[in-house]
C-alpha cells in the first residue's frame, strides 16, 4: 500500500494519502482546502486516481479540501452520517467500509469531540486514523460543536482502546511535531484518558482545558457544513491559465517544451546558465534572456511582470530553483521548462550557442 502523511503548517492538520499499488485507487483523509494543489500534484506524480476524500469530522479549525478536490478531480465525498453536513456523496456509519482497490478502511463511530466523528481502521488493523477522537498524548476538545466528554471517554475506551495494541494511531493534528503513536502507548501514557483515569477524572480534566477557540473557526464551520464549499462571496482559488501548466509536488509550475515551441512569442524566456556554458555546450533557445542564477531575483527586475516567464537551463534543475525563487519574490506568471533544453531539443527544437 502507498501511504503518505502530509501536514498543513497553518492549522497543524495531518492529511493522509492511502492508495492501492495495483489499481492505483487512492483515498485522502482530512484534506485541507489550501493544500489541494499540493495534494493533487502528489496524486498526479504517483499516477493515482482519487476515489474518495473522507473527513474524520466537521472541522472547526481549517476548511476541508473535499469539495474542491471533487470539483477538480471528480472524487466522491464520504462523511459520517451524523456530521450534519450537506453535499456528501456517501454517508458512513459504524461497520461500513470504504474501499480503494483491494484495500479498505472500516468505519468506527467515535463521537465526543463532535457528534459525527469517525475513526477509520485499515483492513488489517495495522493503522487507525482517529481524527481528533484520540491524539498523541491528548484528545480533541469537547467544549464546542456537540462536544461531550463522557461520550468521548466511552468512544476512546470502548472502541479505540479495544483495537490491537500494536495498531498505529494517526491523529488529525499534533501541535508538538509528533507524527504517530500506538494503541498500547496511549493506553499507558495518555495523560487525559490512559492509565487508571476514570470517566469522572477525564471529565474533570476536560472541563478545565481552557483552550482559546481555533483562529479559523468562523470561516471553517460554515464552509465545512457544506464539505468545504466556499460561502457566497468568497473567491475561488484561481489557477494560472496562460498555459497548460502543471503544478509539481516540488512546489513550482512547469510547462512542457512542446507548448513552448508553439507559443514562444507570447512569453519571456529566461536562461539561468552562464553564457560560457551555453556557448560551449548545448546552446539555448533563440530569444532567451540570460539571468545569473546567484542573483536571479534582482536581475529579474528588468523583466516585464505582466508577460509570462519561462525559465530554462540544461535539464530543468537550476531553472526550477530560479522559478521557486521568483515565485517567492512575487512573480505570478512564471513556469519552469520541464526537462530544460534537453527536452526541447529531444522534441525537435533548435538551439543557438549565443543569445
Ligand X SMILES: N[C@@H](CCC(=O)N[C@@H](CS)C(=O)NCC(=O)O)C(=O)O
DSSP for 133-186, please give it.
Answer: SSBTTB----SSTT--HHHHHHIIIIIGGGS-TT-EEEESB-SSS---EEHHHH
**Please, which residue, 84 or 214, has the CB nearer to ligand X?**
214
CB of 190 to ligand X, least distance (A): 11
CB of 21 to ligand X, least distance (A): 32
**Please, which residue, 101 or 111, has the CB nearer to ligand X?**
111
Q: Could you give the CA distance from residue 335 to residue 320 in angstroms, rounded to a whole number?
A: 8
**Please, which residue, 170 or 344, has the CB nearer to ligand X?**
170
Q: Give the footprint of ligand X on this chain (CB under 6 A).
A: 11, 60-61, 132, 138, 140-141, 173, 175, 211, 214-215
- Out of Fe ion, ligand X, none, what residue 141 binds, judged by CB under 5 to 8 A for its kind, is ligand X
- Out of Fe ion, ligand X, none, what residue 352 binds, judged by CB under 5 to 8 A for its kind, is none
Q: Could you give the CA distance from residue 11 to residue 331 in angstroms, rounded to a whole number?
A: 26
Query: Dihedral angle at the C-alpha atoms of 328, 330, 334, 337, nearest 10 degrees?
Result: -20
CB of 64 to ligand X, least distance (A): 12
- Out of Fe ion, ligand X, none, what residue 214 binds, judged by CB under 5 to 8 A for its kind, is ligand X
CB of 113 to ligand X, least distance (A): 6
Residues 6+ positions from 317 with CB-CB distance below 8 Å: 340
**Please, which residue, 138 or 308, has the CB nearer to ligand X?**
138
Q: Are 177 and 229 in contact (CB under 8 A)?
A: no
Angle 312-314-316 from CA coordinates, rounded to 5°: 60
For β-strands 118-122 and 90-92, DSSP reports them as unpaired
117-156 footprint of Fe ion as x/- string (CB under 5 A):
---------------x------------------------
Q: Could you give the CA distance from residue 16 to residue 26 in angstroms, rounded to a whole number?
A: 10
Q: Which helix (H) or strand (E) holds 67?
A: helix 66-73
Q: Which of 346, 89, 85 is nearest to 225 (CA)?
A: 85
Q: Could you give the CA distance from residue 187 to residue 140 in angstroms, rounded to a whole number?
A: 16
Beta bridge partners of 121: 106, 128
CB of 215 to ligand X, least distance (A): 4
CB of 56 to ligand X, least distance (A): 10
- Out of Fe ion, ligand X, none, what residue 211 binds, judged by CB under 5 to 8 A for its kind, is ligand X
**Please, which residue, 132 or 229, has the CB nearer to ligand X?**
132
CB of 220 to ligand X, least distance (A): 9
* Contact call for residue 55 and Fe ion (CB under 5 A): no
* Residues making contact with Fe ion (CB under 5 A): 132
Amino acid at each position: 500500500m502507498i501511504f503518505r502523511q502530509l501536514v498543513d503548517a497553518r492549522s497543524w492538520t495531518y492529511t493522509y494519502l492511502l492508495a492501492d499499488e495495483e489499481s492505483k485507487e487512492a483515498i485522502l483523509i482530512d484534506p485541507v482546502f489550501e493544500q489541494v494543489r499540493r495534494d493533487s500534484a502528489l496524486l498526479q506524480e504517483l499516477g493515482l486516481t482519487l476515489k474518495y476524500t473522507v473527513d474524520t469530522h466537521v472541522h472547526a479549525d481549517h476548511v476541508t479540501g473535499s469539495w474542491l478536490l471533487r470539483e477538480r478531480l471528480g472524487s466522491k465525498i464520504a462523511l459520517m452520517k451524523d456530521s450534519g453536513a450537506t453535499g456528501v456523496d456517501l454517508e458512513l456509519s459504524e461497520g461500513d467500509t470504504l474501499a480503494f482497490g483491494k484495500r479498505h478502511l472500516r468505519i468506527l463511530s467515535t463521537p465526543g469531540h463532535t457528534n459525527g466523528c469517525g475513526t477509520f481502521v485499515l483492513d488489517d488493523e495495522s493503522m487507525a486514523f482517529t481524527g481528533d477522537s484520540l491524539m498523541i498524548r491528548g484528545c480533541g476538545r469537547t467544549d464546542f460543536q456537540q462536544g461531550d466528554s463522557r461520550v468521548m471517554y466511552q468512544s476512546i475506551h470502548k472502541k479505540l482502546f479495544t483495537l490491537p495494541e500494536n495498531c498505529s494511531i494517526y491523529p488529525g493534528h499534533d501541535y508538538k511535531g509528533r507524527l504517530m503513536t500506538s494503541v498500547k502507548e496511549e493506553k499507558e501514557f495518555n495523560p487525559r484518558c490512559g492509565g487508571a483515569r476514570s470517566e469522572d477524572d477525564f471529565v474533570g480534566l476536560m472541563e478545565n482545558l481552557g483552550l482559546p477557540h481555533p483562529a479559523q473557526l468562523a470561516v471553517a464551520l460554515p464552509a465545512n457544513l457544506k464539505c468545504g464549499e466556499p460561502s457566497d462571496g468568497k473567491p475561488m482559488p484561481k489557477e494560472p491559465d496562460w498555459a497548460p501548466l502543471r503544478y509539481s509536488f516540488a512546489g513550482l509550475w512547469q510547462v512542457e517544451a512542446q507548448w513552448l515551441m508553439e507559443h514562444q512569442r507570447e512569453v519571456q524566456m529566461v536562461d539561468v546558465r552562464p553564457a560560457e556554458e551555453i556557448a560551449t555546450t548545448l546552446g539555448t533557445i533563440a530569444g532567451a534572456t540570460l539571468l545569473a542564477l546567484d542573483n536571479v531575483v534582482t536581475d529579474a527586475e528588468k523583466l516585464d511582470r505582466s508577460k509570462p516567464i519561462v525559465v530554462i537551463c540544461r535539464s530543468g534543475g537550476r531553472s526550477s530553483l530560479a522559478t521557486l525563487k521568483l515565485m517567492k519574490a512575487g512573480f505570478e506568471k512564471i513556469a519552469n521548462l520541464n526537462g530544460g533544453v534537453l527536452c526541447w531539443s529531444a522534441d525537435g527544437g533548435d538551439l543557438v550557442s549565443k543569445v
